Amino acid sequence: MKLKKFNFKIVNSTNDLAIKIIKNTDNKSGIVIAEKQKRGRGQYGKKWTSYKGNLFVSIFFQVSLVQLSIKDLTKVNCLLVKKLLSNFYKDKIMIKNPNDLLINNKKISGILQETLFKSGEKFIIVGIGINLIKSPTIKNYLTTNLFDLTGVKITPNNVILKLKKIYESFIPILSEFNIKNLNKNLK
């Protein structure tokens, strides 16, 4: 399966744009990429700080045949992003439920999932933000970025290629996915 790429310089929110694409086109899957978001969103309506050079993408695809709950899909998406991050950082990466990834107890990534129904088909939108070169300041929440951790400046394009490949391999097997063997299934 190939995810169609939708590239933008500046958007309000990649998730909002993915929702518009689903509603207004016949695209069943895709990846919305932005260099900057003006109104990025996090969980529970929190603001997602979007510094240029960090990663802001939303992946959308049909999940009508998928038997997983949204909670289980969140776990799966966290593990897929953890797998992506492990390409760039070799030490421990933790998942903080429900949807944050931490390194050294500092947030490096967040995921915002939303669902949408169109013509009886269910879609999931997976918004992914990763601090590549700059960490936002969040009150009472430590943050980090890959550049500070590795000393290597990783470009969004490099990360997007790997992320796209991970999801293109995973989406076709999602309908027969077994949540009990989660870690084994994602190796």
Contact 7, 33 (CB under 8 A): yes
Lowest mean pLDDT among 52-56, 75-79, 87-91, 175-179: 175-179
pLDDT of 66 over the 90 cut: no
Share of the chain residues as helix, strand and coil, in percent rounded to the nearest 5: 35, 35, 35
What pLDDT score does 71 carry?
Answer: 86
pLDDT band at 183 (very low <50, low <70, confident <90, very high): low
Extents of the domains making up the chain: 4-175
Cα dihedral 8→10→14→18 (10° resolution): -50
Q: Which residues contact 92 (CB under 8 A, 6 or more apart)?
A: 103
Q: What is the pLDDT of residues 139-149, one digit of tens each?
A: 888 999 999 99
Could you tell me the fold of the domain covering 4-175? Answer: BirA Bifunctional Protein; domain 2 (3.30.930)
What pLDDT score does 84 carry?
Answer: 96
pLDDT of 184 over the 60 cut: no
pLDDT of 181 over the 70 cut: no
pTM of the complete model: 0.91
